């Protein structure tokens, strides 16, 4: 158990600090050469936190794609969202074997291209099942390109997947996914520079005896415009937070101070008259003393009224409210 100071020890400690006998400040030396250059444009600054809304989109896509695959294969298929990671694009490419079925697509109106990557094992499994097999046979996949039949099958599967992805994203943003082209060599799909950060989403496709991975790779810069919405919680929680924010904003605005001024009138005079003007000269205005004057709030015309005296102070009695553009003046009398 740690030692507890007595009252005498505490008093002695305080006297030592106040008298300067106990040093409280430790001198810290600074060497300018120790400073580390920092690039504000580097994507290393990105905070790799959870994206709950993106996870919900992934779960919705998995459910929809599961139904699509089961209908296509006439067998019960399972599609599960496995992980969401943020890594550099160069590191992601190093994880891809050759051959790999790579498909580029856009998500308008978001900028840039994204990737749908289908593991070769998934392709052979689907082709085997579609042509009457069990999908459990293993093939040697290295060292050859995909056949025309395999390419046709996987293209159909990917297009169906992108259609489901588009529907899943519409809960957040009305996107239009456009399929572009397919590749088998990762070197030909440089959607961003190798040092840029990408969001990698993996889904496991399982049909009876076999399984494989389908991966979505989206540049972080593509998702940046909707990053805050992706990192937000459930929509109901977000709406509740928004309502609270509106209430606080309304109360604080009601307490804010606003500058109010009046315009008695205006006129135009020549520069010669301005130069020759002296005390006692009279400047006629463009309205009569009995006319209503304009009241400005923070420089914006808001009311019309008549000048007078109230409790010994100069005052204005409001007669009209000037509505915003598109409205009509309110002719109600006021004080």
Which CATH number belongs to the domain containing residue 159 in this structure? Answer: 3.40.1550.10
Please indicate, yes or no, if residue 230 is contained in any of the structural domains: yes
Q: pLDDT tens for residues 192-244?
A: 999 999 999 999 999 887 888 999 999 999 998 888 888 776 454 444 555 66
For residues 172 and 230, is the Cβ–Cβ distance under 8 A?
Answer: yes
Across 70-80, average pLDDT = 89
This prediction has a pTM of 0.57
Domain co-membership, 225 together with 287: no
For residues 117 and 97, is the Cβ–Cβ distance under 8 A?
Answer: no
Quote the number of domains for the chain: 2
Please indicate, yes or no, if residue 324 is contained in any of the structural domains: yes
For residues 218 and 198, is the Cβ–Cβ distance under 8 A?
Answer: yes
Q: DSSP 3-state helix, strand, coil percentages of the chain (rounded to 5)?
A: 35, 25, 40
- Burial grade of 207 (CB within 10 A; 0-12, 13-18, 19 or more): buried
Higher pLDDT: 47 or 97? It is 97
Tokens 């994880």 correspond to what residue?
Answer: 95
User: Out of 157-171, 246-260, 317-331, which region has the weakest mean confidence (pLDDT)?
Assistant: 317-331
Domain co-membership, 50 together with 191: yes
Domain co-membership, 211 together with 328: no
Domain co-membership, 92 together with 220: yes
Domain co-membership, 72 together with 199: yes
What's the gap between Cα 126 and its chain centre?
Answer: 37
The SS3 call for residue 131 is coil
In this predicted structure, what is the pLDDT of residue 165? 95
Please indicate, yes or no, if residue 11 is contained in any of the structural domains: no
Domain co-membership, 154 together with 303: no
Measure CA of the first residue to CA of the last residue in the chain; give whole Å: 74
The rounded distance, in Å, linking the Cα atoms of 34 and 172 is: 45
| Total Cβ atoms within 10 A of residue 297 | 13
Tokens 């009311």 correspond to what residue?
Answer: 303
Domain of residue 219 covers 45-236
The rounded distance, in Å, linking the Cα atoms of 47 and 24 is: 36
Please indicate, yes or no, if residue 322 is contained in any of the structural domains: yes
Question: Which helix (H) or strand (E) element contains residue 252?
Answer: helix 235-255
Tokens 């004057």 correspond to what residue?
Answer: 293
Domain co-membership, 181 together with 300: no
Q: pLDDT tens for residues 268-320?
A: 888 888 888 889 888 888 888 788 888 888 888 899 899 888 888 888 889 99
What secondary structure does DSSP assign to 7-41, as a single string? HHHHHHHHHHHHHTSS---------GGG-----TT
Domain co-membership, 68 together with 214: yes
Tokens 């005052």 correspond to what residue?
Answer: 315
Q: How many residues belong to the chain?
A: 335
């Amino acid at each position: 158990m740690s030692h507890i100071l007595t009252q005498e020890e505490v008093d002695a400690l305080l006297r030592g600090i106040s008298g300067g006998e106990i040093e409280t400040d430790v001198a810290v030396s600074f060497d300018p050469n120790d400073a580390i250059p920092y690039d504000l444009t580097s994507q290393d600054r990105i905070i790799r936190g959870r994206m709950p809304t993106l996870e919900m989109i992934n779960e919705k896509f998995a459910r929809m794609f599961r139904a699509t695959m089961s209908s296509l294969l006439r067998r019960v298929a399972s599609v599960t969202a496995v992980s969401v990671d943020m890594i550099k694009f160069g590191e992601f490419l190093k994880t891809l074997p050759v051959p790999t079925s790579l498909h580029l697509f856009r998500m308008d109106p978001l900028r840039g291209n994204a990737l749908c990557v289908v593991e070769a094992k998934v392709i052979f499994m689907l082709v085997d099942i579609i042509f009457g097999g069990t999908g459990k046979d293993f093939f040697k996949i290295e060292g050859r390109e995909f056949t025309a039949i395999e390419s046709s099958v996987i293209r159909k599967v990917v297009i169906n997947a992108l259609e489901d992805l588009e529907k899943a994203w519409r809960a957040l943003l009305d996107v239009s996914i456009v399929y572009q082209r397919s590749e088998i060599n990762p070197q030909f799909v440089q959607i961003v520079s190798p040092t840029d950060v990408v969001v990698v989403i993996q889904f496991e496709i399982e049909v009876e005896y076999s399984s494989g991975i389908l991966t979505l790779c989206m540049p972080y810069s593509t998702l940046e415009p909707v990053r805050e919405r992706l990192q937000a919680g459930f929509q109901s929680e977000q709406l509740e937070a928004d309502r609270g924010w509106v209430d606080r904003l309304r109360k604080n605005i009601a307490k804010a101070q606003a500058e109010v001024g009046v315009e008695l009138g205006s006129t135009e005079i020549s520069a010669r008259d301005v130069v020759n003007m002296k005390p006692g000269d009279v400047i006629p205005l463009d309205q009569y003393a009995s006319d209503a004057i304009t009241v400005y709030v923070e420089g914006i015309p808001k009311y019309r009224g008549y000048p007078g005296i109230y409790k010994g102070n100069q005052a204005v009695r409001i007669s009209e409210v000037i509505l915003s553009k598109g409205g009509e003046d309110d002719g109600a009398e006021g004080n």
